[in-house]
């Protein structure tokens, strides 16, 4: 189990570097990270994912990878839609709700 939020944020960033090496990430205040994926800027709050990892018996890496995969689907779908990134990025929080 991860003891601190900072350790968890570091692990999520490392997972992003492994799964999506083309994404650029950096830590942000309020337990979040910024992501530039395919030229689109977004922000990922980590509170819900952190709490889910603390509560579940499944390995945390499985949960992190699932969350990142869902985030990537949302970003990927924007390329094939008429919505612009400003509209779609507000829907990313739904990934967290559906995940929980």
**pLDDT tens per residue across span 17-33:** 999 999 999 998 889 89
Report the pLDDT averaged over residues 40-57: 83
- Look at residue 100 and tell me whether its pLDDT is greater than 50: no
What is the pLDDT at residue 86?
60
The residue ranking higher by pLDDT, 81 or 61, is: 61
Mark 30-42 as b/e (b = at least 16 C-beta within 10 Å). Answer: eeebebebeebeb
Q: What are the residue ranges spanned by the domains of the chain?
A: 5-99
Judging by DSSP bridges, how do beta strands 40-45 and 24-28 pair with one another? unpaired
Neighbours of 11 (CB within 10 A): 15
Q: Mean pLDDT over all residues of the chain? A: 76
Higher pLDDT, 44 or 83: 44
pTM reported for the whole predicted model: 0.69
């Amino acid at each position: 189990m991860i003891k601190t939020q900072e350790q968890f944020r570091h692990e999520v960033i490392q997972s992003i570097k492994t799964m999506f090496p083309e994404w650029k990430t950096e830590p942000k205040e309020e337990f979040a990270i910024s992501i530039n994926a395919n030229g689109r800027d977004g922000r990922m709050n980590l509170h819900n994912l952190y709490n889910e990892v603390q509560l579940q018996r499944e390995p945390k890496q499985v949960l992190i990878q699932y969350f990142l995969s869902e985030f990537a689907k949302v970003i990927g779908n924007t390329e094939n839609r008429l919505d612009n990134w400003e509209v779609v990025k507000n829907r990313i929080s739904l990934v967290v709700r559906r995940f929980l």
